[in-house]
Amino acid sequence: MADAQGYYDGLLGQGYTPDQAVAFTKQYFPDFTPPALDVAPVAAFEIDEGVAKSVADEHGIDASFLLETARHFDADSNQILDADELQATASAMTRVDVPAVPVGMAGAPPPVPVGLAQTPAVPQSPAAAPTTAATIQDTTKTSRRPKNKMTAIMTGFIGFTGADRFFLGYILLGVIKLVLFILGIALNVMFAGQPTVLIAYLLLTAAAMWWLVDLIMIVTGRVPDSTGTPLL
User: What mean pLDDT is predicted for residues 78-95?
Assistant: 83
pLDDT at 119: 42
End-to-end CA distance of the chain: 82
Kindly report the average pLDDT of the chain as a whole number: 79
Distance between CA atoms of residues 104 and 121, nearest Å = 39
171 — pLDDT class (breaks 50, 70, 90):
very high
Contact yes or no for 90/66 (Cβ under 8 A)? yes
pLDDT, tens only, 186-213: 999 998 888 888 999 999 999 999 999 9
pLDDT at 131: 55
**Strand 46-47 to 80-81 pairing:** parallel
Entry pTM: 0.38
pLDDT at 122: 47
pLDDT, tens only, 129-167: 555 555 555 555 545 567 777 787 887 788 888 898 898
Q: Which residues pair with 17 in a beta bridge?
A: none
Distance between CA atoms of residues 170 and 179, nearest Å = 14
Q: Is the pLDDT of residue 118 over 50?
A: no
Q: Is the pLDDT of residue 175 over 90?
A: yes
Distance between CA atoms of residues 49 and 135, nearest Å = 41
pLDDT at 187: 92
98-102, 187-191, 228-232: lowest mean pLDDT where? 98-102
Distance between CA atoms of residues 158 and 170, nearest Å = 15
Contact yes or no for 52/66 (Cβ under 8 A)? yes
Which residues neighbour 43 within 8 Å (Cβ) at sequence distance 6 or greater?
A: none
Tell me which residue of 148, 161, 168 sits closest to 210, measured CA to CA: 161
Distance between CA atoms of residues 57 and 46, nearest Å = 20
Burial of residue 89, with CB atoms counted within 10 A of its CB: 0-12 exposed, 13-18 middle, 19 or more buried: buried
pLDDT at 107: 62
What percentage of residues in the chain have a pLDDT greater than 90?
A: 14
pLDDT, tens only, 49-82: 888 888 889 888 888 878 888 777 776 778 788 8
pLDDT at 120: 44
pLDDT at 1: 60
User: What mean pLDDT is predicted for residues 106-122?
Assistant: 56
Which residue intervals of 80-170 are DSSP H helices? 83-93, 133-143, 149-156, 163-168
Sequence-distant contacts of 217-223: CB under 8 A, at least 24 apart: 218/149, 218/152, 218/153, 218/156, 218/164, 219/153, 219/156, 221/149, 223/152, 223/168
